[in-house]
Structure 1
């Protein structure tokens, strides 16, 4: 069986604009809206 790489859309951090190609980007939902934040900006999101 051949290895098939799943096509994953490139995500962009809504705070700093970095892409998932450069830094891990996580998806979260706030007030019913899906948003994206990179691991560098996550502490600012958590701690304000």
Structure 2
């Protein structure tokens, strides 16, 4: 059995859409948590 190289190049549209939504959302939440935590320490 040889590995299917085309499988890695071809991406699932649903998976790509989920990643494009999930990654910025998680980064935004993480940044908000960091800012909120830093603000809580200052005040």
| TM norm structure 2 | 0.30
Larger relative strand fraction: 1
Higher share in helix: 2
Q: Higher relative contact order at CA 8 Å, sep ≥6: structure 1 or structure 2?
A: 1
TM-score with structure 1 length normalisation?
0.28
